[in-house]
Amino acid sequence: MAKRKATETVTNILVCGIGGQGVMTASEVLAQAALRLGYDVKKTEVAGMAQRGGVVTSHVRFGPKVLSPAIPAGEADLLVGFEPAEALRWCGQLRPTGIAMVNVTRQVPPVVNLGLFDYPAAPVAEMREAGIAVYDFDAGAIARDLGETRMVNTVMLGAIADHLPFPAGALKDIIVERFRERKPALADLNERAFEAGRQAAAKAKG
């Protein structure tokens, strides 16, 4: 993303995925980091029946003053896709200078398994063809290798950390603190997941 100064304008981050992937936690962490850095922040979700495998999107907006909580169509600076087909579904929300960070681990829903619909053949390629700057990597595999599949959201946060209008460390600190408070055993592991995501994104250069 051409880094726009969040002190002058509103930064729009759209996080998308499916229920149960940690989309809402990731956006909560982003919002908390922006809050700590002194921005006005709004965060909203569209999650019909969130925990039940449906589509989940979360909008995080921060800047000097945020009015509407939802990102206007075509004005997202950053799309954080927890799942490739979901990233494809929402990529139209990006502004022309925006970027997409995409986890390529597929989550295939029952309607596709039942043969009622097809899963897109190559979602990331389709996005690139549309002219979108995509950084893609397998966050699912990274989390699995670290031994905890639920860490996908920390990996994804690490991946976007160098593409935010504030220092990557601000985001990392919040994640590590959250775990120190709630599940201290997982604090170090999440720090590693964060760094692994950061490196993966650096290599993934879209």
**CA angle centred on 53, ends 48 and 57, rounded to 5°:** 50
Residues ≥6 apart with Cβ < 8 Å to 15: 23, 26, 27, 30, 57, 58, 59, 60, 80, 82
Residue with smaller CB distance to another protein, 68 or 97: 68
What span, in angstroms and rounded, lies between the C-alpha atoms of 154 and 157?
5
**Owner of token pair 């980091």:** 33
Tell me if 111 contacts another protein by CB under 8 A.
yes
How many residues sit in the footprint of another protein (CB under 8 A)?
55
Rounded Cα distance between 83 and 108, Å, is: 10
CA distance 182 to 59: 25
Q: Any idea what the Cα angle at residue 193 is, between residues 190 and 197, rounded to 5°? A: 145
Asked if 184 interacts with another protein (CB under 8 A), we say no
Nearer to another protein, 67 or 203 (CB): 67
Site track for another protein across 37-66, x = CB under 8 A: ---xxxxxxxxxx-xxxxx----------x
Instruction: Quote the least distance from Cβ 100 to another protein, whole Å.
Output: 11
Q: Closer to another protein at the Cβ: 117 or 202?
A: 117
* DSSP structural state of residue 10: -
d(CA 47, CA 78): 19
Residue among 118, 121, 184, 203 that touches another protein (CB under 8 A): 118
Q: Name which of 16 and 198 has its Cβ closer to another protein.
A: 16
User: Of 7, 9, 97, 149, which one interacts with another protein (CB under 8 A)?
Assistant: 149
CB of 194 to another protein, least distance (A): 19
Q: Which of 13, 14, 15, 18 binds another protein (CB under 8 A)?
A: 18
List residues near another protein by CB under 8 A: 18-19, 24-25, 28, 31-32, 35, 40-49, 51-55, 66-70, 72-75, 85-86, 88-89, 91-93, 108-120, 126, 130, 149
